[in-house]
Amino acid sequence: MKLTILGSGTLFPTKERFPSSFLLEEGNVKILLDCGHEAIARLVELGFDVRDIGAIFISHFHADHIGDAFNLVWSRFVGDLYEGKEHKLLVFLGPRTLQERFRKWREIFWLEPGEEYPLEFHEGEFEYALGDINLRTFPVKHVPWFESVGCRINVGGKIIVYPGDIGSSHDFDDLVSRVQGADLLLIEADADKPSPNHFTFEQAAELAQRANVKQVVIVHIKPIPQWQERAREAGAAYKAINKKIKRPLSMRLAIFWGLFPDLFAFGLSFVWLFFNLIFGELSFSDLPRPTGVEPAPTDTLPIFRLTSLLYSFSHSLIVFLFVFGVAAFLLRLKLRRTPWELGGWLIHILIDIPTHSYKFYPTPFLWPLSDLKFDGFSWGTPWFLIINYLAIIIVYWFLRKRRRILDEKVGAR
């Protein structure tokens, strides 16, 4: 996939920026996203044949987005006549009334009488596929006197979103959902302050952050010097906003997951024992004692049989890898981060494997695939828990410190 920016400026062209137009290529398929005036000149300058364009997406009817669309049809028509070639189908994608407006332009600009050029129109909200490029439109609020649409494009799993011109009158949460998870966002920033018709740099930055966009390209840039400074401010705003969610590793969460295996396995039995020792008829002499083979509780009271099952679940590397995989997939999908805090759980299991003997819950680290366990070093005292949890704290303190150092280096660039 290749995206060429033909124009990223406004209605007033300069030698640096032309009005909005973008060429998307996937293999031999080419689609224009908007077709502002000078789009044809830019295509020819870059060595493209305008007759190879398969479709044109029009976001709205302002001249800086559609000014060269009819000229492109005329150029293709005449070029085919000169070379005696058969006309290729050209597909127009855009807001409602696009075909009717095109008919009126055709009357004004006058294509050859009696010659019907092969055109196809898709209007409003729809999905359209050309080759491996899949495009879905969505309504956008820009100006009240005509309809506007944006598009979300999927090319081989890569997502590009182009809302066209959009203002503060559009529901921001709705736009976040339309842009969510995009690999590339083409977003305008034409306003000095929030406007019903155009976005500001800060709004563009906030949208990119909230929608977890990988890369942002600001378009519709005004040809005035101070706009470069505004662009730098937008980069700072995006960095500041993004930093709020890209926090270092959570020590509290890591410690929780370090404690989780034992809390999950023994929490219920501790509550049961406490309740029955205080309020029931159970006494300390009734509690089972470990034997030399397996923990005695597994074949006595039902609560201990349940504890043994919960222990097998929470101390299994197989279970951990499954939970980590699912959590990583969901968090990467939504927040683009990895749940490294779950590593506290892994550290707990790895420490328990050699430090549990058959007399005190040997670690079933391959459960439920295997009942393999090691007769590890016997815990001399339950205070050995301190070593376990202290190791987790030290590891994550080191990782968090390292993360902060990396963040400072990145921020200094």
- pLDDT exceeds cutoff 80 at 110: no
Count the residues in the chain.
413
Do 289 and 197 lie in a common domain? no
In a shared domain, residues 10 and 144? yes
Higher pLDDT, 379 or 365: 365
Do 294 and 363 meet the contact criterion of CB atoms below 8 Å apart? Answer: no
Do 235 and 257 share a structural domain? no
Q: How confident is the model at residue 394 (pLDDT cuts 50, 70, 90)?
A: confident
The last residue of a domain, from among 192, 219, 244: 244
Q: Is the same domain home to 63 and 131?
A: yes
103 and 157 both lie in a single domain? yes
User: And the tokens for 274?
Assistant: 């406490």
Which pLDDT score, from 0 to 100, does residue 37 have? 87
Q: Which domain holds residue 394?
A: 381-412
Last residue of a domain, one of 227, 244, 261: 244
- Is pLDDT above 90 for 104? no
pLDDT in tens, 194-229: 778 888 888 888 888 888 898 888 888 877 766 666
Q: What is the DSSP letter of 220?
A: S
Which band of pLDDT confidence, cut at 50, 70 and 90, is reported for residue 240? low
User: 396 and 312: one domain?
Assistant: no
> Please, what is the Cα angle at 207 between 206 and 213, to 5 degrees?
110
Residue 8 maps to which CATH number? 3.60.15.10
- Per-residue pLDDT at 270 exceeds 80: no
54 and 177 fall within a common domain: yes
Q: Give the list of residues 6+ apart from residue 37 with CB closer than 8 angstroms, or none.
A: 13, 18, 19, 63, 64, 67, 68, 71
Most confident of 7-16, 222-231, 266-275, 399-408: 7-16
Among 2-16, 180-194, 371-385, name the one with the lowest average pLDDT.
Answer: 371-385
Percent of the chain with pLDDT strictly greater than 70:
77
160 with 300, same domain: the answer is no
Q: 276-308: per-residue pLDDT in tens?
A: 767 766 665 555 554 444 454 444 556 667 778
Please tell me the least confidently modeled range out of 71-80, 224-233, 237-246, 352-361.
Answer: 237-246
Sign of CA dihedral 78, 81, 87, 88: negative
Q: Are residues 153 and 181 in the same domain?
A: yes
Q: Is the distance from CB of 152 to CB of 136 less than 8 angstroms?
A: yes
19 and 49 inside one domain = yes
The total number of structural domains in the chain stands at 3
Single residue among 244, 267, 294 that ends a domain in this structure: 244
Q: Of 204 and 322, which is predicted with more confidence?
A: 322
SS3 content of the chain, % helix, strand, coil (to 5): 45, 15, 35
Q: What is the pLDDT of residue 148?
A: 93
Q: 147 and 181 in one domain?
A: yes
The CA distance from 100 to 250, in Å, is: 58
What pLDDT is recorded for position 244? 46
Helices of type H across 186-294: 201-210, 226-245, 251-278
Q: Residue 162: its pLDDT value, please?
A: 96
Do residues 238 and 123 share a domain? yes
Average pLDDT of the chain, as a whole number: 80
Indicate the pLDDT class of residue 65, thresholds 50, 70 and 90: very high
**For the residues 355-378, what does the mean pLDDT come to?**
82
Q: Calculate mean pLDDT across residues 52-80.
A: 91
